[in-house]
């Protein structure tokens, strides 16, 4: 998979099986939505490896994200 805003860069160094042209933020939002849709359709089946339920628990406890520091804590504010 190769995602780039510049179509001329796709498969330039290595052939991309899945070329995606677009703005990074929009591409990532669309990819995350597609993965979540696929996961919802598949759901966790009883045949999943034993550690899968533990991974799901970690995802709920520690969701991906980032909180920007306040300006008082920013190293640039000094």
3-state secondary structure of 2: strand
Report pTM.
Answer: 0.47
- pLDDT tens digits, one per residue of 1-14: 899 999 999 999 99
Contacts of 52 (CB under 8 A, 6+ apart): 44
The two structure tokens encoding residue 6: 């510049």
Residue 46 inside a domain? The answer is yes
Number of separate domains in the chain: 1
Residue 13 inside a domain? The answer is yes
Residue 78 inside a domain? The answer is no
Residue 71 inside a domain? The answer is no
The list of the chain residues with pLDDT below 70 reads 43-48, 69-78
Residue 25 inside a domain? The answer is yes
Residue 30 inside a domain? The answer is yes
- Kindly give the residue spans of alpha helices, DSSP state H, lying in the chain: 24-42, 51-61
- For residue 36, give its domain range: 2-61
Other beta carbons within 10 angstroms of residue 11's beta carbon come to 13
Which helix (DSSP H) or strand (DSSP E) does residue 4 occupy? strand 2-4
Residue 67 inside a domain? The answer is no
């Amino acid at each position: 998979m190769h995602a780039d805003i510049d179509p001329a860069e796709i498969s330039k160094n290595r052939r991309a099986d899945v070329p995606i042209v677009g703005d990074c933020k929009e591409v990532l939002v669309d990819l995350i939505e597609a993965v979540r849709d696929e996961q919802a359709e598949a759901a966790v089946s009883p045949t999943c490896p034993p550690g899968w339920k533990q991974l799901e628990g970690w995802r709920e406890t520690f969701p991906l994200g980032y909180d920007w520091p306040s300006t008082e804590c920013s190293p640039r504010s000094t």
